Amino acid sequence: MKLKAMSFNLRYDNAGDGINAFSSRYPRAIRTIEDERPDIIGFQEVTDSMRALLRKELRDYTIVGCGRDKDYHGESTLIAYRTSDFEMIRCENLWLSADPHQPGSHFGEDHSNCPRMFTSVLLKHNEIEAPFTFICTHLDHVGSRARMVEAKALCEYISAHTEKCVLVGDFNATPDEPEIGFICDFFASRGGKDCTSGIAPTFHDFGRLPPEKQVKIDYIFSDGECDEAYLVEDTPVNGQYYSDHNAVCAYIVL
């Protein structure tokens, strides 16, 4: 059974982005999802108003997740799955911190002021006997030590569960950085891998970065085999993109 997974950093709704503010470009983002038709999606940087809009527009999907701040508002790591194909057995929103159940918390070290979290669902597909865990996260954008601690916390969480796992997100680290190496080694020890290891850079800052400065920071890791992975190209229309990141997709074999 193949499932199409997508990781999609939508870029938070910032009026300073002008024509690329989410309130202006969201139809392109929605169209991208409709064209790609993923079975399951991990979103990053989704604010409260964006979350409401996604739930309104993506009617074929169940969307779960909450904001990262103390009051459960703010940016979120939402997960969307096709309602007709899956049964959700468990859903957790946890913070990447010494107290993962404390909203708005984060590790110390060189961490930014932004709380970081992950959303995890245990899903049962109609045509697959065993359920699997799907996790979406967004690691810190400032501290490399903070990202390593967050990576270890994610792997510890995955190890504590017996189900196969798919981990997606914006990890704010390139493939040669130690925190990505740690996650790759972890999945390799489980017979899995970075499904997106061969794709092009994903972050382009609404086309402002020249090709040589664009970086890959978006990933899909899986315990299962990966038949194919690719970057969803974004050709701007009058300077408007669907996001400042390219979405990535992978076909996961479970």
d(CA 123, CA 211): 38
CATH topology of domain 2-253: Deoxyribonuclease I; Chain A (3.60.10)
For the chain, give every domain's residue range. 2-253
Q: How many CB atoms lie within 10 A of CB 167?
A: 30
**What crossing angle do the helices spanning 48-57 and 22-36 adopt, rounded to 10°?**
40
**What crossing angle do the helices spanning 144-159 and 178-189 adopt, rounded to 10°?**
10
Torsion of CA 126, 128, 130, 133, to 10 degrees: -80
Q: What pLDDT tens digit does each residue of the chain (254 aa) get?
A: 899 999 999 999 999 999 999 999 999 999 999 999 999 999 999 999 999 999 999 999 999 999 999 999 999 999 999 999 999 999 999 999 999 999 999 998 799 999 999 999 999 999 989 999 999 999 999 999 999 999 999 999 999 999 999 999 999 999 999 999 999 999 999 999 999 999 999 999 999 999 999 999 999 999 988 989 999 999 999 999 999 999 999 999 98
